[in-house]
Structure formats: structure tokens, C-alpha cells
């Protein structure tokens, strides 16, 4: 059994919960990613994101989506395992899996007050590192926040250390 298994929901349920939260005057924060091998950088990022609103919802790239984004051999962990680990974290309120290459459609469904990405992105709309989902959030008046990247913490770096040690 996965701790907090009730946090794993369909896209439709996440949308319904977000609508309910807005109606109650609460602000939903949304972020997304592969979250393949959870490390302290992920945990700090999710804690920082959670502090930006009333609830933190997370979209997890499906296995097919993660493979398209990260390449062959990825993800290391299955979408269900990755979603289960993220759902077990206390700062996360809801988790869903999406199959697209970006979370744009999911962001449009959830309609978060705050959309958060890590420091490998840029909140400036003219930047080439501006997250594609940010334009959707900006259109309905939401806020886009970029949480500074903590150097030394990445799944790619972890995998490189494992390969070197092996």
C-alpha cells in the first residue's frame, strides 16, 4: 500500500478539487515534472512551492512522456512508483499523471493560482527558457514563479555518480 494513496487522482478529480478550492477562496499551486529519482533538491523545491499557496498539486510525466523528454533508458522508475513517492510527501496535496510532453493541457484544466517551475526555467516571457505552460497561466491572470535551482542536485547527476561508482 502506498502512503496517502488517496492523493493519487485523475485529471478530472484534480480539476474538480481545484475548482472547489478556488470557490472556497484557497489558492492552488501547481507544478509538474518527471520526478524520476527523488533527491533533496526535489524535496526543497516542493516545500518552497507549497509555501506559495493553500495546496500543492503535482503533475507527473507518464513513462512515455518522460522517455520522449529524457531519452532511452528513462525513466528509471515507473509512473506509478514516481507518483506514489511524490504523493507520500507531506507537502503535496494531490498528484496526477499526464501523457503530453508539456503540462499545458493539464494546467488549463487545473487553473492554478500559481504555476511553479525550477530554476532551469526563466519567468521572463521573452526568454527561451520560459516554460510553455506559463503563457496559459498568464492568460487567465495566474502567477508564474521560478524557484531557484540548487546546484549539485539533479537526477542526471545522481545517475552519473551511480554509473561512475559501478
Q: Does residue 162 carry a pLDDT above 70?
A: no
Question: What CATH number does residue 14 fall under?
Answer: 3.40.50.620
Domain count, the chain: 1
Residue-wise pLDDT for 38-77, tens only, equals 999 999 999 999 999 999 999 999 999 999 998 888 899 9
Average pLDDT, stretch 9-37? 97
95, 87 contact by CB (below 8 A): yes
| Distance of alpha carbon 52 from alpha carbon 43, whole angstroms | 15
Q: Among all chains, which residue has been given the C-alpha cell 470557490?
A: 23
Q: Average pLDDT of the chain?
A: 90
What's the CA gap between 55 and 44, in Å, rounded? 16
pLDDT of residue 80: 96
pTM of the predicted model as reported, rounded to 2 decimal places: 0.90
Residue 106 confidence (pLDDT) above 90? yes
Query: Which domain covers residue 81, as residue numbers?
Result: 5-165
**pLDDT band per the 50, 70, 90 thresholds, residue 119:** confident
Name the helix (H) or strand (E) containing 56.
strand 55-61
% of residues, the chain, pLDDT over 70: 90
Amino acid at each position: 500500500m502506498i502512503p496517502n494513496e488517496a492523493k493519487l487522482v485523475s485529471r478530472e478529480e484534480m480539476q474538480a478539487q481545484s475548482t472547489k478550492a478556488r470557490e472556497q477562496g484557497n489558492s492552488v499551486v501547481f507544478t509538474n515534472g518527471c520526478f524520476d529519482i527523488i533527491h533533496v533538491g526535489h524535496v526543497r523545491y516542493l516545500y518552497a512551492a507549497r509555501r506559495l499557496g493553500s495546496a500543492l498539486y503535482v503533475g507527473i510525466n507518464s513513462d512515455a512522456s518522460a522517455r520522449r523528454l529524457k531519452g532511452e533508458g528513462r525513466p528509471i522508475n515507473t509512473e506509478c512508483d514516481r507518483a506514489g513517492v511524490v504523493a507520500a510527501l507531506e507537502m503535496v496535496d494531490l498528484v496526477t499523471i499526464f501523457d503530453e510532453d508539456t503540462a499545458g493541457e493539464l494546467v488549463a484544466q487545473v487553473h492554478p493560482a500559481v504555476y511553479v517551475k525550477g530554476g532551469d526555467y526563466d519567468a521572463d516571457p521573452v526568454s527561451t527558457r520560459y516554460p510553455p505552460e506559463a503563457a496559459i497561466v498568464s492568460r487567465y491572470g495566474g502567477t508564474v514563479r521560478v524557484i531557484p535551482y540548487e546546484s549539485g542536485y539533479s537526477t542526471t547527476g545522481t545517475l552519473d555518480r551511480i554509473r561512475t561508482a559501478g
